[in-house]
Amino acid sequence: MNTLNSDRVKKGMERAPHRSLMYADGFSDWEIERPWIGVVNAANAIVPGHNNLGALVQAVKSGVYAAGGLPIEFPTIGVCDGIAMNHRGMKYSLPSRELVKDTIEVMTEAHGFDALVMVTNCDKITPGMAMSALALNIPAIILSGGPMLPGVYRGRRADLNGIFEGVGKRIAGEMSDEDMAELEMSVCPTCGSCAGMFTANTMNCVIEALGLALPGNGTIPAVYSHRVRLAKDAGLAIMNLLEKNIKPRDIVTMEAIDNALAVDMALGGSTNTCLHIPAIARHAGLEVPLSHIDEISHRTPHLCSMSPGGRHFIVDLHHAGGIPALMSQLLDGGLVSGGPLTATGRTVAENLERAHVADPEVIRPMSDPVHPEGGLAILYGNIAPMGCVVKQGAVLPEMMRHEGPARVFDGEEAAFKAISGRGIKPGDVVVIVNEGPKGGPGMREMLMPTAALAGLGMDSSVALITDGRFSGASRGASIGHVSPEAASGGPIGLVREGDAIRIDIPGRKIELCVPDGELARRASERKPPLKPAGSPFLERYREFVTSGADGAVFKETR
């Protein structure tokens, strides 16, 4: 065993007071001598994806203890994006990613942990943990709580997106209050991260593909006993990584990032990975520009038709062979590398030796993809010089190219009011400004407007663009992360009611059809507005956060 970080806390005469405090915790001498393994528990009582984390933490601790380590549990925070959606609470979701990272760093450095097992679930917690693992660069494994099973509504499977879109159907008069009550009681039948390929499950799968989690992390359902066995295995595996001195930056190389991006594109994952993967890479000392993500998407076929854009759920992906089966297919096609190390202590290729596709309807063959390109596309143009992101795998064919008049709204609430009031017409392009990292502040997800449009049947005729972002559950021509944002002087802030906007997703273009001279005139007259944040924390966040095109990470201060 290498020299331990915890030795600086527990060894020598001068550390007698420290050992005394450990005795007060109930630890014996022979336990204190063991490697100290921090077990990070994100659990709280409001996030449905966290209901089983307590049992998983105990299983992790059993594995660590059996392998000769001393597991020491500590907490971090976690926001439920679904509950925070469509009100002020969503301003705090993306900023919480940085707090998750920072709290883990504080606890680890203050107490000298030798390695970490991070037990997580849901949108910002998982990437925050990955960022922390890379910043600290001590042996670390991430373990998710697993996905929720889909519900059943009147004989058909359904997930949380169904109830969000149900709001639009209720507005359209297609559902009664009784229908809505039945639906809302049906779509979330178990604990776990919501059942489709939304942001939480996308990130759980991406972290597995990246190599920071064990095989199965992304898809084993939360309620399966296999998830508990995986947790015990994570406890054993962290001791193996510590013994071999394999650290997160040994695992997260550019090859590994490209593997994760290829898996994301094949899955048709959430647009939020365009924030989280660059942010994770930045903490590994690597750069992942949006243009690189688009290159991976161009060459990677979309192989899995997952909710919200398709009919399958995460449990289907699990039974089809999970991420190992998908990666084995991509490896055979030359689209991922077998060389990177992983949390098993073995390479990607070694992990995939026995992987196979059990259901080709769920994981399609390379010769018969859902779409020939990956699930995400990066668009550029005079309205988004630094780029913007669309989940092209969830866009209807008739909306892949669209031109229409802009309907401009300052913030999500104004846009949703217009949509729910039936003020948006077929052909319109809804433009929501001042929802970016600085402008919001906090870059809110906006599932309610996109879901309402889908529920109204307008996802086939109305596009929506914003400097904010969308939930992984959003579908339709929902184009987010427009950069630079309006609050930083971006040209999206120059759009006026009725301006024509042209969208060409296959051509990767988005244009505001206004002469350059007129845009220059508008720019000369504008002072980008900054709405009061209404919170000292959000004001601090606004001060340090960078563009969505850079992953909305904090500016370097050294």
Burial of 137 (C-beta count, 10 Å sphere; 0-12/13-18/19+): middle
Instruction: Please give the helix or strand (H or E) that residue 102 lies within, else none.
Output: helix 93-111
The 3-class secondary structure across 262-314, one letter per residue, is HHHHHHCCCCCHHHHHHHHHHHCCCCCCHHHHHHHHHHCCECCCECCCCCECH
- Residue 487 parent element (H or E): none
Query: What is the identity of the amino acid at 521?
Result: R
CB 465 within 8 A of CB 548: no
Q: How far is CA 267 from CA 134, 220, 329, in A?
A: 25, 16, 12
Which residues, at least 6 apart from 31, have a Cβ–Cβ distance to it below 8 Å?
A: 70
For 58, counting Cβ atoms within 10 Å of its Cβ (0-12 exposed, 13-18 middle, 19+ buried), the class is: middle
**Catalytic (active site) residue 471:** yes
Residue 104's alpha-carbon distances to 94, 124, 132, 338, in angstroms, are: 17, 14, 7, 31
Helix axes 254-267, 273-283, angle to 10 degrees: 170
CA distance readout (Å), 535 to 295, 366, 375: 39, 49, 36
Q: Which of 62, 9, 61 is nearest to 33 (CA)?
A: 9
Sequential DSSP letters for 457-476: T-TTT-EEEESSB--TT--S
Which residues, other chains included, contact 420 with Cβ-Cβ below 8 Å and sequence gap of 6+?
167, 171, 452
Query: How far apart are alpha carbons 127 and 120 in whole angstroms?
Result: 10
**Residues 451, 452, 453, 456, Cα dihedral to 10°:** 120
**The tokens 């296959």 sit on which residue?**
506
Helices (H), 387-504: 412-420, 447-455
- Pick the catalytic residue: 96, 193, 471, 478? 471
Residues carrying an active site annotation: 471
